[in-house]
Amino acid sequence: MRKIPYGQANFADIRKRNQMYVDKTRFLSLMEESGDYLMLIRPRRMGKSLWVSIMEAYYDIAWKGMFEEWFGNLEIGKNPTEERNTYLIMKFDFSRIESELQQVQKSFHSYISMITRMFVRKYKTYFDDDSFLEEFHRLDSGLEQLNLILEEGLKNGLKIYLLVDEYDNFTNTDLSAHGTVSYKEITRGSGFYRDFFKFFKGGTNVLGEGRIRLFMTGVSPVTLDDLTSGANNIRNISLSPSFNELFGFTEEEVQALLDYYLQETQIELDPAMLLATMRDWYNHYRFSDQARQDMYNTDMVLHFLLSMMDEQRIPQELIDHNIRIGYQKLRHLLLVDSQHTSDARLNGNFSLLKEVIETGKSMGTVRTSFPIDQIQDSDNFQSLLYYFGLLTFGEADRGRTTLRIPNQVVSKLMYGYLRDGLREVGHFRIDPRKIGNLVEDMAYDGNWKAFFTMLSQEIHKQTSIRDYFSAERVVQGFLLAYLNLTDVFLTYSEYECSKGYADLYLAPFHTKYPNLKYGYLIELKYIPRKMTGEAFNDKLLQLKAEAHSQLKQYQQDSHLQEFYESNRTPDLISLILIFHGWELVYLEAV
């Protein structure tokens, strides 16, 4: 059985050991046609580092003799380009830069110098001019050494390919740990990182027959924008529909992997049920508003397959902790100037995050670049959520771009960010075990009153949090955040059914927990706080009638009926919750 190369990013090693590899090499020729200076941004754990390793193996002149062994039975091996194995490769991995404030500049220069020295040693037959070597070893700066190599390469007709993996890793870490002042010192003016990109502005000024190419990966365009004049000739192909399928797996590829490992291991599990679970949890990424093919997250699929074979069942832990974006990476986005917890307060983007969680989508455009100074702009923040993989492209709505939450894994992560944001500024310090138990009571026992009563009491206590939410939707985010402390429910906001949209649908995760007994349809209604007396009573009666009618309609949905009729155990409970501002004034099962 071919082993799954989970967490591995060394293409040569994967091929030598005959491990599983899903062929993406057809994109090499497409990339050659796209330009000499390219940038491709994707979320974490999608296979970016492996792709950089593939490019290194394909273009490195030193590995020409390994082409047939590594690529012979792959698509590019059957249709190679003229560029194969014709470059001197210089590969950088900027996740190796020390992010400590006092060490980052020294670490950066030391790392660049190490890479350039390794490069000269590896390709010494191309750099055997004594005057060049003497000058190279006299230079103390890695950036100066890099510049000398590029100039010498161009003069001597050499082809040099620079591969930069995780170009924004240490700058993002610096930003989240030390704030914008330190970050700007690195990326702006005479910042040392800015100098690195000056060499790629129009190539160099040296005339010669050589050629320099550059390919970079990262998770955000923010750093690239802040390096602006040093990198404005780099083409960002991140939103090109041509590269939508480069990172991640198509459903056909996931199906093939699943079939292979079920056959090899002879595990007796329903393949349709396994694929449906992976589709719900790991699928639905699109990396262009013109793309029509949904992609599965690479890391999540491999994690699922490994865990499935190890546990002989649907994995107990469906979220691989390696794909969790560290909360510190988003902390500076959710909170304002929060170096000290006592000063922390939620910013406007917290409300946007909550709105996205409530509706499952957002309208707007994805910007290809924006500086750190404008990160609080709602369109930029929304774009950043896309680049981090928390939103993805959906179907256009009346010609407008729609961004949506792709799957259950991302939903669970975002609910966690919402809880963390509230907890960080001193709100909603609810015992997660207690509330998790109440959610499980809903799923197993049908006891829903205890959960909603407790949460409404907690909301009522949080007087200072109300400023962050509109009166119309004061509780839906709270409900979603705390209903997802456990995974017994698959939670859907604005769930489409019977030509309408239910505010919340809690589907019992029956494939993982076969003994669950209840699912929930929930209709939320709101009465403005200022409405009192007869006006309040009339509005309450009106909203009760509306909610009754809507829930009766939703209950007729054919997909819901089919699910609850085919599963003998679960029953569907329909609930009406009416809030007067932040106070729960009506709770009923229909």
Model confidence over 136-193: pLDDT tens digits? 999 988 999 999 999 899 888 999 999 999 988 877 776 766 667 777 777 766 667 7
In this prediction, residue 78 has a pLDDT band, given cuts at 50, 70 and 90, of: very high
Does the pLDDT at position 305 exceed 70?
yes
Q: Could you give the CA distance from residue 160 to residue 127 in angstroms, rounded to a whole number?
A: 13
pLDDT tens digits along 254-277: 999 999 999 999 999 999 999 999
**Which three-class secondary structure state does DSSP give residue 235?**
strand
Q: Token digits for 331?
A: 């902390």
Residue with tokens 């069942």: 313
Quick one: how far is CA 427 from the chain centroid? 27
Which amino acid makes up residue 590? Answer: V
Close Cβ partners of 478 (under 8 Å, ≥ 6 residues apart): 428, 455, 459
Does the pLDDT at position 203 exceed 60?
no
Q: Could you give the CA distance from residue 247 to residue 269 in angstroms, rounded to a whole number?
A: 28
Whether the CB-CB separation of 88 and 149 falls below 8 Å is answered with no
Residue 328: the pLDDT is 56
Residue 457: the pLDDT is 83
Q: Could you give the CA distance from residue 402 to residue 366 in angstroms, rounded to a whole number?
A: 10
Inter-CA distances, 507 with 357, 443, 487, 488, Å = 17, 9, 10, 8
pLDDT tens digits along 360-378: 888 888 988 877 777 778 7
Close Cβ partners of 211 (under 8 Å, ≥ 6 residues apart): 36, 154, 158, 159, 160
> The pTM is what?
0.89
Among 43-57, 174-188, 450-464, 508-522, the minimum mean pLDDT is found in 174-188
In this prediction, residue 87 has a pLDDT band, given cuts at 50, 70 and 90, of: very high
The rounded mean pLDDT for the chain is 86
Nearest to 173 by CA among 280, 326, 296, 300: 326
Which amino acid makes up residue 145? Answer: Q
pLDDT, greater one: 129 or 139: 139
pLDDT tens digits along 432-460: 888 899 999 999 999 999 999 988 888 77
**What count of other Cβ atoms lies within 10 Å of the Cβ of residue 469?**
19
Which amino acid makes up residue 232? Answer: N
**What count of other Cβ atoms lies within 10 Å of the Cβ of residue 130?**
7
Close Cβ partners of 381 (under 8 Å, ≥ 6 residues apart): 333, 349, 352, 375
CATH 3.40.50 residue ranges of the chain are 11-243
Nearest to 365 by CA among 350, 346, 384: 384
**Residue range 543-549: mean pLDDT, rounded:** 96
Q: Could you give the CA distance from residue 245 to residue 294 in angstroms, rounded to a whole number?
A: 8
Which amino acid makes up residue 480? Answer: L
Residue spans of alpha helices (H) in 312-368:
327-334, 348-359
Whether the CB-CB separation of 163 and 92 falls below 8 Å is answered with yes
Inter-CA distances, 272 with 254, 283, 299, 467, 511, Å = 12, 15, 20, 46, 11
Q: Would you say how long the chain is, in residues?
A: 590
* Fold of domain 11-243: Rossmann fold (3.40.50)
Nearest to 492 by CA among 280, 277, 275: 280
Looking at the chain, the whole-number percentage of residues with pLDDT higher than 70 is 87
Residue 315: the pLDDT is 93
Whether the CB-CB separation of 523 and 502 falls below 8 Å is answered with yes
In this prediction, residue 336 has a pLDDT band, given cuts at 50, 70 and 90, of: very low
Residue 145: the pLDDT is 93
Inter-CA distances, 347 with 44, 110, 539, 571, Å = 25, 38, 33, 41
Nearest to 320 by CA among 350, 281, 358: 281
Q: Token digits for 211?
A: 């050629």
Among 37-51, 262-276, 469-483, 506-520, the minimum mean pLDDT is found in 469-483
> Which pairing describes strands 211-218 and 345-346: parallel, antiparallel, or unpaired?
unpaired
In this prediction, residue 217 has a pLDDT band, given cuts at 50, 70 and 90, of: very high
Return contacts of 433-437, CB within 8 angstroms, 24+ apart: 435/482, 435/485, 436/485, 436/486
State the DSSP string of 446-482: ---HHHHHHHHHHHHH-GGGGGGS-GGGSSHHHHHHH
**What count of other Cβ atoms lies within 10 Å of the Cβ of residue 119?**
21
pLDDT, greater one: 72 or 569: 72
Whether the CB-CB separation of 555 and 569 falls below 8 Å is answered with no
Q: Could you give the CA distance from residue 225 to residue 290 in angstroms, rounded to a whole number?
A: 24
Over the range 51-75, which residues count as b (16 or more CB within 10 Å of their CB) and which as e?
Answer: bbbbbbbbbbbebeebbeebbeebe
**Residue range 104-115: mean pLDDT, rounded:** 91
pLDDT tens digits along 491-503: 988 888 888 999 9
- Side-chain-facing half-sphere of 115: CA atoms under 13 Å: 24
Does the pLDDT at position 229 exceed 60?
no
**Residue range 317-326: mean pLDDT, rounded:** 78
Inter-CA distances, 370 with 125, 197, 215, 288, 330, Å = 43, 17, 20, 18, 16
Partners of residue 579 on adjacent β-strands: 526, 584
Residue 40: the pLDDT is 95
Q: Could you give the CA distance from residue 292 to residue 245 in angstroms, rounded to a whole number?
A: 10
Whether the CB-CB separation of 208 and 150 falls below 8 Å is answered with no
Helix 104-122 to helix 169-178 angle (10° resolution) is 170
Residue 172: the pLDDT is 76
**Residue range 198-204: mean pLDDT, rounded:** 60
Nearest to 357 by CA among 451, 468, 476, 470: 476
